[in-house]
């Protein structure tokens, strides 16, 4: 065994030991122990792009099916730390959904992916102590997000080539991180994963037992005339759907996850003003959310005319009255207010009152980091 691999294996042992040691000191049980039932949502980040004393991580949600972590929706700054504190091993996670490519929704992507392979090795090492051999991680991480867009550049004092503001496709973003042929800034992960797994068990055919692989998939981000797109449908009944939503000039999509008769919808970020008089973004959200058990909604701003006065905030985010309209029109059972900011978090009771006053009759909850929502035989726990 090489000295490098010995060092890495020693690091893994320390990490595993720390995980075991720290799991028992807290009075509250780890969030992963609250996961029950057919479909579960663990909030990894309920905040926005601002670091505040309240301590919320930026946007991120971990979806479990039958108790197994399966899908990660957004992975903003701080979600890596929340994942660690949750006690969840994500060695089998293979789906990442990015609502859009702003940093507060993508910032911890590489850290979480790297952890995924460490978690695989930790699980294999633990199994080996019991005489069980587990296979290495070879399936790809499948990453989905909006396609590119090109718009006229209109920001005063900022110039762009040919006067065009170009937002990259998710594929370009992901390849720019991890592709070896394209010179991705973090393409080292391919060699790194091979190195940390090389001496941890039986070698696979022709190579190490774990292999870093990914796919990058672009989803339509055209808001006008958008239709609901089935992203994937698995043999065990997991269905993921998406539709374009209006986040100002930024390509963005919302997601719907269905499993065993339950459904969760996530808005990502979507604006108040909309493109045109019909507010197409809200119409798309209402269509995607029909009959959902839970709708997680961008709650970053108050009503137009309220603070802040900068109109940009309402171009990018949804005021409470429009959240109410979507939730009521779609008939969702539970509305979760998330992506909370210093604007809305201290006024969350006022936000709820606005929504209730406009006729929404379902449950209204404010998201908190590491809160778990369950659907299935065990009901809803938070």
Are 69 and 62 in contact by the 8 Å Cβ rule? The answer is yes
Residue-level pLDDT at 358: 96
Residue-level pLDDT at 272: 75
Q: Distance between CA 129 and CA 196 in Å, rounded?
A: 18
Phi, psi of 146 (to 5 degrees): -70, 150
Q: What are the residue boundaries of the structural domains of the chain, listed by start? A: 34-106+138-169+219-375
Closest CA to 300 of 104, 168, 43: 104
Residue-level pLDDT at 343: 93
Task: Using the predicted structure, report yes or no on whether residue 90 has a pLDDT greater than 90.
Answer: yes
* Average pLDDT score over residue span 362-375: 98
* Average pLDDT score over residue span 216-233: 92
Question: pTM for this one?
Answer: 0.89
Q: How far is CA 2 from the centre of its chain?
A: 37
Are 96 and 141 in contact by the 8 Å Cβ rule? The answer is yes
Q: How far is CA 380 from the centre of its chain?
A: 21
Residue-level pLDDT at 350: 97
Q: What value does the mean pLDDT of the chain take?
A: 87
Residue-level pLDDT at 198: 65
pLDDT tier at 3 (50, 70, 90 boundaries)?
Answer: low
* Average pLDDT score over residue span 73-88: 98
Most confident of 118-127, 157-166, 201-210: 118-127
How many other CB atoms sit within 10 Å of the CB of residue 276?
Answer: 11
Closest CA to 82 of 99, 105, 62: 62
Task: Using the predicted structure, report yes or no on whether residue 375 has a pLDDT greater than 80.
Answer: yes
**Pairwise pLDDT comparison (223 vs 35), residue with the higher score:** 35
Q: Which of 166-175, 306-315, 359-368 has the lowest mean pLDDT?
A: 306-315
Task: Using the predicted structure, report yes or no on whether residue 12 has a pLDDT greater than 60.
Answer: no
**Pairwise pLDDT comparison (195 vs 292), residue with the higher score:** 292
- pLDDT tens column, 142-175: 999 999 987 776 677 777 777 777 899 999 999 9
CA dihedral 68, 31, 141, 39 (to 10 degrees): 40
Residue-level pLDDT at 240: 99
**Pairwise pLDDT comparison (154 vs 330), residue with the higher score:** 330
- pLDDT tens column, 14-41: 444 444 433 333 347 899 999 999 999 9
**Pairwise pLDDT comparison (106 vs 273), residue with the higher score:** 106
Q: Distance between CA 220 and CA 170 in Å, rounded?
A: 11
Residue-level pLDDT at 225: 78
Task: Using the predicted structure, report yes or no on whether residue 121 has a pLDDT greater than 70.
Answer: yes
pLDDT tier at 247 (50, 70, 90 boundaries)?
Answer: confident
Task: Using the predicted structure, report yes or no on whether residue 278 has a pLDDT greater than 90.
Answer: no
**CATH number of this structure's domain 34-106+138-169+219-375:** 3.60.15.10
Residue-level pLDDT at 276: 41
* Average pLDDT score over residue span 71-93: 98
The percent of residues in the chain predicted with pLDDT above 90, rounded, is: 66
Query: Which of 205-211's residues contact partners 24+ apart within 8 Å by CB, and which partners?
Result: 208/136, 209/124, 209/135, 209/136, 209/138, 210/117, 210/120, 210/121, 210/136, 210/137, 210/138, 211/136, 211/137, 211/138
């Amino acid at each position: 065994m090489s000295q490098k691999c010995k060092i890495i294996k020693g690091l893994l042992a320390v990490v595993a030991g720390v995980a075991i040691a720290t799991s028992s000191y807290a009075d509250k049980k780890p969030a992963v122990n609250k996961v029950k039932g057919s479909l579960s949502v663990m909030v990894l980040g309920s905040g926005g792009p601002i670091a505040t004393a309240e301590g919320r991580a930026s946007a991120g949600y971990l979806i479990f099916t039958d108790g197994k972590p399966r899908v990660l929706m957004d992975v903003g700054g701080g979600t890596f730390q929340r994942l660690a504190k949750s006690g969840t091993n994500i060695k089998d996670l293979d789906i990442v959904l990015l609502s859009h490519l702003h940093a507060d929704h993508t910032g911890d992507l590489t850290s979480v992916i790297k952890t995924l392979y460490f978690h695989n090795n930790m699980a294999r090492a633990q199994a080996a102590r019991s005489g069980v051999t587990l296979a290495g991680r070879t399936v790809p991480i499948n990453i989905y997000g909006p396609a590119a867009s090109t718009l006229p550049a209109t920001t005063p004092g900022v110039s762009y080539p040919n006067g065009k503001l170009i937002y990259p496709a998710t594929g370009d973003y992901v390849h720019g991180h991890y592709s070896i042929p394209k010179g991705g800034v973090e393409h080292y992960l391919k060699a790194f994963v091979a190195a940390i797994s090389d001496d941890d068990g039986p070698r696979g055919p022709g190579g190490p037992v774990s292999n870093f692989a990914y796919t990058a998939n672009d989803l339509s981000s055209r808001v006008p005339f958008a239709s609901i797109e089935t992203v994937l449908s698995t043999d065990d009944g997991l269905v993921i759907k998406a539709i374009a939503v209006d986040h100002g000039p930024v390509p963005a999509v919302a997601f719907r996850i269905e499993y065993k008769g339950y459904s969760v919808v996530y808005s990502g970020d979507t604006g108040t003003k909309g493109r045109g008089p019909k507010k197409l973004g809200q119409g798309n959200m209402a269509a995607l959310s029909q009959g959902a058990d839970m709708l997680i909604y961008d709650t970053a701003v108050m009503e137009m005319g309220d603070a802040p006065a900068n109109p940009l905030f309402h171009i990018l985010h949804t005021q409470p009255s429009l959240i109410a309209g979507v939730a009521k029109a779609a008939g969702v059972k539970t509305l979760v207010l998330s992506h909370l900011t210093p604007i809305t978090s201290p006024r969350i009771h006022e936000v709820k009152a606005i929504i209730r006053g406009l006729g929404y009759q379902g449950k209204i909850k404010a998201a908190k980091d590491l809160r778990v929502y369950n659907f299935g035989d065990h009901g809803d726990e938070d």
